[in-house]
Structure 1
Amino acid sequence: MDTYSTATLYINGKWVEADRGASFEVTDPSSGQVIGVAADAGTAETERAIAAASDAFPNWRAQNAYTRAAALLRMHELMLERSEDLALLMSLEQGKPLRAARNEIRYAADFLIWFAEEAKRIYGSTIPSSRTNQRLTVLRQPIGVVAGITPWNYPVSMITRKVAPAIAAGCSIVVKPAEQTPLCARAVFDIFDEADLPPGVVNLITTSRPSEVGDAFLRSRAIRKLTFTGSTAVGKMLASRASESMKRVSLELGGHAPFIVFDDADVEHAAKGAALAKYLNTGQACISPNRIYVQRGSIGRFVNVLTDRARRLRPGSGVDESSTIGPLIDMTAVTKMEQQVADAVGKGAQVAIGGERLREDGLDGGNFFAPTVLTGVSPAMSIYNEETFGPIAPVIAFDTEDEVVAMANDTEYGLASYVYTKDLARAVRVSEALRFGIVGINDINPTAAAAPFGGLGESGVGREGGAQGIDEYLDVKLVAHVLGDAVD
């Protein structure tokens, strides 16, 4: 870990320490042990990073698309070359098992190569004019300096999902990663540094004082776009304050995903899929199933398979190859799990398995919570209405298609949803009726770098990934040109 224990600010193409050498400790969530330190930046360092990005922007936007694409391709190559080291660091710092960490590194690299290709596809257009001597041309141009705020649950891929389209579009960017995972961010920026970007195009600010750095972002007139992944409450605050200077915002916020299983589905397959999706990253994913609706005729078989899959999971440190589920990020998350289970049981739910913090077999020093299945869950319970962000699977019975669609849509969130059925007509009807930005039909992984990711309502605004992802970093300009001096 010594490699990642100093100078974790990257400003204007150089690695620098925070002012007065300020730093903060980084811990392993599986043990609570300190694994390194990161530079602790504040307002002054953030303003210098913004200034560097602002100075770099005119030259970077002037580079042709092939130059920008080449830089991204180099980043892609370096990330794949270092994938094992990055995965090991992620498992240590964030807690997810190595297999999941390796998958995330591949996913992160996909954004680099995808937007390397999209850089060469920033097309304009011409519009037929009603005036014979007029030509109308539409250009798409980089928006300017971007501030990116990334979360701890996917500490590498959420950086590339923001940085790649920004620099592909011709923008410069300042990134503030989550305070829980600054070492992963440092490792990613090592790769960016070696890609030989001009100084100031990409900048990294690590901090234990996120509100101070966020304030600097929001006050700055140089920053023209803010992209954020995190909680809905923080996202709303950022959007409100960004409006004061009319910054463009992209917000990928919370989720409350319904997972619907009809009687005509392959119920065992659906239960296995639900387990994989629910316990992935210990449930710490915005698209994690949060309300599992099972048609009444199949609920017994479904719960049996889901419970069996939960029982097979082996909690442990992410760096242990035998671990299949890691810790929660901190003790606050563990406490939330305990509160949601207690509330549900107190209101009539039953614990099929789990339901408690894990302390035995060397897990007492970490933030472990047992993979849990709750049955008899009702709308009166907090877990039915609140995002869990943990390894608790609440199962709810339903009877009819219309009923479950209404139940699924009864939320202010609108990110991901899942439907299991063998009936093609039903799949079409339900997917069109669900008010969510993403619908997986018999599919627990409806995401890819090539596909747009984002939600409706309080799940945010804008899209990341896909052809739509680069649009968030581009302004549209109309050029109207009159030929000669004649006036129609």
Structure 2
Amino acid sequence: MADRIKVTNPATGEIVEEVAAHSTEEIEARIEKVAAGFQSWKKVNAHERARLLKKWSDKIQEQKEDIAKVMTLESGKPLKESLGEVDYATSYIDWFAEEAKRIYGRTIPANTESKRIIVTRQPVGVVAAITPWNFPAAMMTRKAAPALAAGCTFIVKPAVETPLTTMKFIELAHEAGIPEDAVQYVNASGRKVGEIFTGSPRIRKITFTGSTPVGKHLIQDSADTVKHVSMELGGHAPLIVAKDADLDFAVTQTMTSKFRNAGQTCICANRVLVAKEVVDEFAEKLVKEAAKLKVGNGLDKGTQVGPVINGDGFEKVVSQIDDAIEKGADVLLGNEFNKDDDKGYYFIHPTVLKNVTSDMVIMQEETFGPVLPITVFDTIEEAIEIANNTPFGLAAYFFTNDYRTGNYLHEHLDFGVVGWNDGGPSAAHAPFGGMKESGIGREGGIEGIEPYLETKYLSIGGFE
């Protein structure tokens, strides 16, 4: 990693800003800083921590438009989506500000009159986070907010593609009064920082959002110091359309799920499974709507689909499209590209494929691009079998107006987040996380603060 990190606009290839890349010594110094800060931050009472978190949220909202513009410049997502992400990010801060005051203990009836048993909760310690480029604001706050609310100190490494949003958020945290030794960031390569974080005895917890292979390495490398780990890893979300579904509504929600952030989300619909009775009608309606999407620079008015993040991401998506076509898939829309390797921008127009089969790579691997493959099923049981035929289990969606079908799908789909007639289920007050190889732990909801707490019980004798 060079001494400077060039942050480029994926819509144009132009340099947005250059930021300093931290050396090993600088990273370790910042870890030491938050480790020392833990001794004082953990003693700050919950109501004061809540007040500071709310002030942090307010400061972010005061600069919402400027932050959103920076996010669009470094990530490429449409400005409207960036504005929405700022709100989504602060919703986690607001939620966990309240949860800070609800870290409860309990008393347990003893089995003898001479004892009293008390259970208390205390912060885990120093928390290190590694966050992805696709949601540079929200993926950070849904880790930082519960950590700080619990009394932990926090250090984060944002993706090298999108460090600017995180840097601004940390700056505003300090302006809000959260001590500099309670929350910090570092900028360097993921491999370098991962090795330092997992090897540091000062860090007691690693929280990561990203690919499953990287998550597995972090888990393995954290074993030597027996760190707590929270992992939100890869997904391969199925979206099932039953024969009795409201097709117009299902199309609208599928569009919401699939094409947000140009399909570069961990929970977007990757495999669309449609009942044979309605597949032609559904595909026709979907293509009609997808064809209306405007592709372009996220700062341009009306843009709905921005660029893919880089050349590697572009090549992966194109290879999946090519493989599907070679194996017999029909292109109903798209398979059009606008790229410039020299300048460094890559656009994939919304693409809809039909007659997709299980032997195609797009049905086996996460896509991370604006490509929607449609496959057909005969029975709900077959749809469930196809949906569950993956090592991943992050999110799934289904559309039906039959409560029996809906309940059956809910019970048999092996995914941590499920949307029934809902293409956008994420919310700060609900527990987000995956099953199988899609992760460990939950973020959001009352469950979201648990991974940042230790449980201690005290047995007091001598009451006779």
TM surpasses 0.5: yes
CA deviation after TM superposition for structure 1 residue 359, in Å: 4.6
> Which one-letter code corresponds to 1:340 in the other structure?
Q
1:180 aligns with 161
Q: Retained in 1: the 8 A contact 2:348–2:370?
A: yes
2:388 aligns with 409
CA distance in 2, matches of 1:470, 1:464: 8
CA deviation after TM superposition for structure 1 residue 403, in Å: 1.0
Q: Where do 1:145-156 residues align within 5 Å?
A: 145-156=126-137
2:270 aligns with 290
**1:462 lines up with 2:457 in the alignment:** no
**1:128 lines up with 2:109 in the alignment:** yes
CA distance in 1, matches of 2:23, 2:376: 50
CA distance in 1, matches of 2:146, 2:180: 18
**1:116 lines up with 2:124 in the alignment:** no
TM-score, L = length of structure 2: 0.98
2:33 aligns with 52
CA deviation after TM superposition for structure 1 residue 395, in Å: 0.3
> Which one-letter code corresponds to 2:80 in the other structure?
R
Does the residue aligned with 1:188 lie in a helix, a strand or coil?
helix
2:200 aligns with 220
**1:266 lines up with 2:211 in the alignment:** no
Q: Retained in 2: the 8 A contact 1:417–1:436?
A: yes
Closer, same or farther: CA 365–243 of 1 in aligned 2, 3 Å: closer
CA deviation after TM superposition for structure 1 residue 198, in Å: 2.3
> Which one-letter code corresponds to 2:289 in the other structure?
R
Does the residue aligned with 1:368 lie in a helix, a strand or coil?
strand
Q: Retained in 1: the 8 A contact 2:117–2:458?
A: yes
Q: Retained in 1: the 8 A contact 2:13–2:343?
A: no
CA distance in 2, matches of 1:390, 1:64: 45
Match of 1:204 among 185, 188, 209: 185
1:326 aligns with 306
Q: Retained in 2: the 8 A contact 1:358–1:364?
A: no
CA distance in 2, matches of 1:375, 1:198: 54
> Which one-letter code corresponds to 2:414 in the other structure?
R
Q: Where do 1:35-434 residues align within 5 Å?
A: 35-207=16-188, 209-359=189-339, 366-434=345-413
CA deviation after TM superposition for structure 1 residue 218, in Å: 1.1
CA distance in 1, matches of 2:27, 2:136: 20
Does the residue aligned with 2:72 lie in a helix, a strand or coil?
helix
Does the residue aligned with 1:417 lie in a helix, a strand or coil?
strand
CA distance in 2, matches of 1:135, 1:309: 65
TM-score, L = length of structure 1: 0.93
CA distance in 2, matches of 1:82, 1:383: 40
CA distance in 2, matches of 1:26, 1:169: 33
Give the length in aligned residue pairs. Answer: 463
CA RMSD of aligned residues (A): 1.4
Q: Retained in 1: the 8 A contact 2:116–2:461?
A: yes
Q: Retained in 2: the 8 A contact 1:108–1:156?
A: yes
> Which one-letter code corresponds to 1:294 in the other structure?
V
Q: Retained in 1: the 8 A contact 2:311–2:344?
A: no
> Which one-letter code corresponds to 1:470 in the other structure?
I
CA deviation after TM superposition for structure 1 residue 364, in Å: 8.1
1:9 aligns with none
Q: Where do 1:20-39 residues align within 5 Å?
A: 22-39=3-20
> Which one-letter code corresponds to 1:476 in the other structure?
T
CA deviation after TM superposition for structure 1 residue 358, in Å: 2.1
1:446 aligns with 425
CA distance in 2, matches of 1:311, 1:346: 23
CA distance in 1, matches of 2:339, 2:460: 72
CA distance in 1, matches of 2:90, 2:339: 36
CA deviation after TM superposition for structure 1 residue 175, in Å: 0.5
CA deviation after TM superposition for structure 1 residue 128, in Å: 1.1
CA distance in 2, matches of 1:88, 1:377: 38
> Which one-letter code corresponds to 2:238 in the other structure?
P
Q: Retained in 2: the 8 A contact 1:268–1:301?
A: no
Does the residue aligned with 1:373 lie in a helix, a strand or coil?
strand
CA distance in 1, matches of 2:344, 2:176: 39
Q: Percent identity?
A: 43
